[in-house]
Amino acid sequence: MARVSQPEQGRDRKQRFITQSGVEINRLYTPADLADPANDPDRDRPRYRFSAPGADAEGWNEADDVGLPGQPPFTRGIHRTGHRGRLWTMRMFAGFGTAEDTNDRFKKLIAAGGTGLSIAYDMPTLYGYDHDEPLAAGEFGTCGVAVSSLADMEILLAGLPVGEISTSMTINSPAAMIWAMYIVAAEKMGVPRAQLTGTLQNDILKEFIAQKEYIFPPGPSLKLVTDTVEFGTREMPRWNTISISGYHIREAGSTAVQELAFTIADGIAYVEDALARGLRFDDFAPRLSFFFNSHNDFFEEIAKFRAARRIWYKLCRERFGAENERSTWMRFHTQTAGVSLTAQQPQNNLTRVAIQALAGVLGGTQSLHTDAYDEAWAVPSEEAALLALRQQQIIAEESGAASTVDPLAGSYFVETLTNQTEQAAWQYIRHIDEMGGMLAAIEAGYPQAEIADAAYAQARALDAHERETIGVTAFADPNEVLRIPLLAIGADQERRHLDRLLRVRADRDADAHARAMNRLRADAADGENLMPAIIAAVEAYATIGEMCNLLRRQYGEYREPLAV
C-alpha cells in the first residue's frame, strides 16, 4: 500500500501542538478566542499608581489592545508607517582579531549595503583584562575584536562614518570604559559627542541572570549603569545608553515568555535606579532601548514582540507616569537565534535564519542582525557574513513583507497568542515585584532557576523527539564531511596587538596617566559619577585592564553562589 503523505480528514498529525513556551495551539482560531476571559491579557496585570480607575474592566477589545500603528498601546508598532516608511537598520554584528581586521570587515559590510555598525568584543575585553594578562591567554580575538586602549579604538573607527551611522556596542561590565574610548576617538575624528548616535548594551543584570560575563558585584555594577544613563541624558541626547537584553536570556535556554518577562523586569530595575538618582523619567526614558532574540517558533516570536511593546507602554504610563509619548515607546533590536544554529549540515542554518529574520521584521523590529550560517563553527567568514546581510536585503526588497504595516494584525491566532504571551509575562513580572524586584530575585537565584528548568525541558523534548532539529535529531547524515571555509585567527595578529599595547604603555605621558588614575580612584571611593573620570583616563591612554583592576580593588569581584 502506498504511504499516505497527508493526514486523514478531520484528524491531526500529532496529539498536541504547543509553542516553545508550552502554550497549547488550537486547530482553529475564531473571534471567540479573543473574547475568552481566560485569554484576557490584563487578567494578571498589577494596578499601579497612575492606572486609570476602572481601566480594562471590559477585558480585551480591538480598539484598546490592538489599535493602529503609531498609536498606544503600540501593539502594531511605534511608527505610523512602519517599515513602509523606513526599513529597519541592517546592523551586522562583527568583530574578530585586531582592530585593523574588524575595521576592514566593517568597511566591506557598509560597501555591501549595511546601514549600521555593531561591534563584538573578545573575551579579555568583555572581562576587563589586558591581553598580556595570564587570564587572557588563548582568548585573543576569537569571538570579537581585541580592544585594550584608545589606540585600538582609533584604528577600529578609522575611515568609518561615525558621524553619519549609528554604532551598537555589545559590552557590559566594562561598558563605561569602552564607551569612553568610542567618545574620545570620535571627538579626535572631529565628531562632537552630542552628535554621536548608537547604543551601548550595558545590561549588567542579564549578565547575572544568563551570560555570566560580570566583573563587579550587583550593587556597584548597577551604579555604573546608572552613571552612564545619567551622563548620556545630560551630554549625549542621541545615544541609547542601555540596551535591555532578552537575547542572552533566551540563548541560555529560557522560553519566549521568560525572555520577555525577565527583560521587562530588568528594565523596571534600571528605571527605578535612575529615578532614585534624581533623574526625571521623561528625560532618560526615550533613550532606553531593548534587544530581543528571534527564535524558531515563528508566530510565538511575533506575538512576543507585539506583547512587549504593549506591556512597556502600560508600565511607562501607569507605573512611571510618563508624560511624553516617546517615553513609552519600546524600540528594540533583534538578532536571530545563535543557539538554534547547528554544526551539522550548517547550510540548513540559512533557512533557519531567514525564517527568524522574517519574524523580526513582521514583529516590527527597529534593527536586525542575521547570524551567519557558519557561526556554530567559528567567527563568520567574509562570505558567510555577506550572505547573512543579503538575507535581510532579500526580505526587504523581494518578499513584500515591508509593503504594509503589521500585516498579521487581526489574525485570530496572532492576536490570541499575543494576549496569552502578555498575560503569562505579567504573571512573572508580578512575582518578581513581590520578591522585591529583579535585583532581589537574582540574589535569590529565581530567574536563573527558571531558565535552567526551561532549558532542561527543551533538551528532554529533543531527546524524546517531541521536537526535532533537522540534521541533528532528524534527517541526520552520518557520513557528513564539513566543506565550508572557516575563519582562523593567527598568532601574528595577536603579536601585532600585544606590540601596540606595549607601545601605548611606553609612549603615553606617565604623569597625565597617573593623575587620571588617581582621579578615577578618588571618584570611585567617593561614589561620584565615574564617566568624567573614565573619559579622562582614556584620554591619558589608560588600558581597560588598568581601569577595571582599579575598580576591582574598590568594588571587589562577584562570585556566583554555588547551587546544590
Buried b (16+ CB within 10 A) or exposed e, 535-545: bbbbbbbbbbb
Residue 20, SS3 per DSSP: coil
Per-residue pLDDT for 230 more than 60?
A: yes
What is the mean predicted confidence (pLDDT) over 479-487?
87
For residue 126, give the nearest of 91, 185, 93, 170 by alpha carbon: 170
Residue 356, SS3 per DSSP: helix
For residue 359, give the nearest of 343, 336, 379, 341 by alpha carbon: 336
pLDDT at 62: 86
Per-residue pLDDT for 564 more than 70?
A: no
For residue 185, give the nearest of 203, 202, 162, 208 by alpha carbon: 162
Q: Which residues contact 419 (CB under 8 A, 6 or more apart)?
A: 34, 39, 40, 41, 60, 65, 307
Per-residue pLDDT for 55 more than 70?
A: no
What is the mean predicted confidence (pLDDT) over 478-497?
89
Local confidence band at 92 (pLDDT 50, 70, 90 cut-offs): confident
pLDDT in tens, 248-304: 999 999 999 999 999 999 999 999 999 999 999 999 999 999 999 999 999 999 999
pTM metric for this prediction = 0.94
What is the mean predicted confidence (pLDDT) over 13-27?
93
pLDDT in tens, 184-200: 999 999 999 999 999 99
pLDDT in tens, 399-430: 999 999 999 999 999 999 999 999 999 999 99
